[in-house]
Structure 1
Amino acid sequence: MDLNLNTGRAERRVRKIDDHQPTGAMTMNESDTILLSDDERTRCEVWTRVMGYHRPVSAFNAGKRAEHGERCYFSEQPQGAGQAHPAQAGERVAA
């Protein structure tokens, strides 16, 4: 269902839709999805915590960049509502 539009076509489409909306409000649905190619996207700067402070990855030296690429990331599942953490319940928790 996605339309792969270049930015010029997308801008013309938005202007055309906007001209026909008397209130200035506009809604988009799945058929109006705009996909950008990688060269059309704005690159975001990635920051990470290193040795207790935050730094942009772009400022890393070659060794630190290689280390950053090898890092493992994880996310913890939240405890259910009303469930005590094992350490709070007096249980021993392995380190």
Structure 2
Amino acid sequence: MPKGYIIGHITVNDPEAYKEYVEKDTPILLGLGAVPIVRGGQSQVMEGEQHNRHVIFEFPSYKAALAAYNDPEYQEVAKIRHRTATSTIIVVEGT
């Protein structure tokens, strides 16, 4: 079965307040089976829109990734990200 991924491209607008999101979202996603693949770090946009942070979480399946994103506890914490950053979040099935 192909794995699933949550991919985020994020521009943090309020770094201090965004820290709360990272502190709260990580245990939720890990508890739902996530494996962090990318969490920030250096990046260079070669084509397309510039964001200053990129994240990739791997899940056992696409269905598990969708369920994690839609999890009510995660969605409550996502409100912090909505207030403190501009983001594009994608759930995708791997190969």
Task: Give the TM-score range, shorter chain.
Answer: under 0.3
Q: Using structure 1 for the length normalisation, give the TM-score.
A: 0.22
Choose 1 or 2 for highest CA Rg.
Answer: 1
More helix by proportion, 1 or 2? 2
Q: Work out which structure has the larger RCO, using CA pairs closer than 8 Å and 6 or more positions apart in sequence.
A: 2
